[in-house]
Amino acid sequence: MNKATNDLSSPLAWLITGGAGFIGSHLADRLLAAGHTVLALDDLSTGRLENVAHLADDDRFELHRGDIRDNSLLDELAQRSRIIVHLAAAVGVQLIVEAPVKTIETNVLGTQVVLEAALRHRCRVLVASSSEVYGKGTKIPFAEDDDVLLGPTSRNRWAYAVSKMVDEFLALAYHRERELETICVRLFNTVGPRQTGRYGMVVPRLMSQALRGEPLTVYGDGNQSRCFCDVRDVTDAIARLATHSRSTGQVFNIGGTEEISIRDLAARVLQVTGSQSGVQLIPYDEAYAPGFEDMQRRVPDLRRIESLLGWRPSRTLDQILSGVRDGLAAAVVSSDASQAH
């Protein structure tokens, strides 16, 4: 393939790191549907084979099981790709609090390996960062060039934000200094089918608790708020930014627009499931670790992506929640059926 081609509209070979993950597998679906070829790299630590099982018979899709820090594997995959979307990371607040060494190493060293491989093979790279980098900022909404306010190094939670900031600095530096085509996206709370609550994510957790008739675990006083965005809107934004000529060398927020407190989210979950479950408030110290600091509000400023792409989320929170309910209800029924046999 001619890597020098500037034509990003024709079918291309994409490498998705974290390609069997929640977001990566939806991105693979979208790219394959548009006629592209997808190489997915995943170590299956938080990614799952079942997320991409439906793609097994598609000869434009390949799943490679391996570590993001494996230089020779990355080299081989980058050689075959035009665009890399780097999603592989240690994710979920729970995992970050429990395994800080793994978080820092995977996120920082992994990104460096990806950027070096991209440089050797002149790939375009989109690096996924996180709204965590806005830290405890109180100027709402969060815009890409705002100052950030983080907590101290004695609190593990902030290791994730810093690791993602280093990823952004690296990606932008490779662009400025080495002329690599890089783009960074800060993903806000992303939800939808295939997301598991195993790593702490609030929507699948509250939804499965409601479906099982268990109390909904709301941490802190529940007044903290988030904006949730459907994963298919997020992957649409990622795919479009990755191929847009004027996105290079920039950072973009991608997120939802409806701000909701977690207490109200729990009430909405009870409404859409018709569940009789109650709500149980759990102090942060018990939910995570002593001294845990949460973000009170997290709202994206979407002006930058909107002015470049005209992108806005297309699904409302109610549509998102109904979709998550249907997906989890089907999974609960099938696991109950398999246990009954």
Give the footprint of ligand UDP on this chain (CB under 6 A): 93, 189, 200-202, 205, 217-219, 224, 226, 262, 294
Smallest separation (angstroms) from ligand UDP to the CB of 231: 13
Smallest separation (angstroms) from ligand UDP to the CB of 65: 27
CB-nearer residue toward ligand UDP: 84 or 201: 201
CB-nearer residue toward ligand UDP: 63 or 92: 92
Smallest separation (angstroms) from ligand UDP to the CB of 298: 6
Neighbouring-strand partners of residue 62: 39
- Rounded CA-CA distance 251/243 in Å is 14
Which position has the token pair 């997808």? 38
CB-nearer residue toward ligand UDP: 186 or 205: 205
Reference 305, options 130, 146, 184, 166; nearest CA is 184
Q: What angle do CA 190, 328, 215 make, to 5 degrees?
A: 90
Catalytic site includes residue 160: yes
3-state secondary structure of 279: strand
Single out the catalytic residue among 160, 199, 219, 288. Answer: 160
Smallest separation (angstroms) from ligand UDP to the CB of 274: 20
Encode 202-216: b = buried (16+ Cβ within 10 Å), e = exposed: bbbbbbbbbbeeeeb
CB-nearer residue toward ligand UDP: 262 or 317: 262
Q: Cα 137 vs. chain centroid, distance in angstroms?
A: 21
Q: Which residues are catalytic?
A: 160
